[in-house]
Amino acid sequence: MIRSMMATTRHHVRTTGQGDAHDITALVARVVSESGLSSGLATTSVIGSTAVVTTIEFEPGAVADLNQVLDRLVPRDGRYAHHARWGDDNGSSHVRAALMGPSLTVPFERRELILGTWQQIVLLECDTRPRRRPFVVQLMGE
């Protein structure tokens, strides 16, 4: 009989504000490697409504391209009802995060993430101010 298990670990990163990206691939890989699970799924999820977890080739050009597209689609200086309601300036942060989503699930096998050569797991800050971003890595596997 195959027994499946779940394991959850908590982490955080310090960000500098909107557009700040952090490569968390090595951390997620270490959690998988040390988990005792051979194969399954690793879900990484940021806690909060103004940051995202996604995958991209983590190099300055690709990160800049992503941020440029987000600036065009959801400009920081746009008009947001959120600003009027709460008197703050992070309406674009909430919209960016909602478009991209708070989590990413990656399969793993033989205690290793199954990712492409140029594919990294990235936490992207969407808020307009520095934050201490908590996130979890949750494993389900055998």
Provide the percentage of residues in the chain whose pLDDT is more than 70.
98
Q: What is the CATH number of domain 27-141?
A: 2.60.120.460
Dump pLDDT digits (tens) for 102-135.
999 999 999 999 999 999 999 999 999 999 999 9
Classify burial at 115, counting beta carbons within 10 Å of its beta carbon; exposed 0-12, middle 13-18, buried 19 or more. middle
Closest to 125 measured CA to CA, from 49, 55, 43 = 49
Dump pLDDT digits (tens) for 79-97.
999 988 888 899 999 999 9
Distance between CA atoms of 121 and 101, rounded to whole angstroms? 13
Give me the residue spans of the domains in the chain. 27-141
Report yes or no on whether pTM surpasses 0.85: yes
Q: DSSP E strands: which ranges in the chain? A: 5-15, 21-23, 40-46, 51-56, 103-109, 112-113, 120-125, 131-141
Q: Give pLDDT, residue 2.
A: 62
Q: How many residues does the chain have?
A: 142
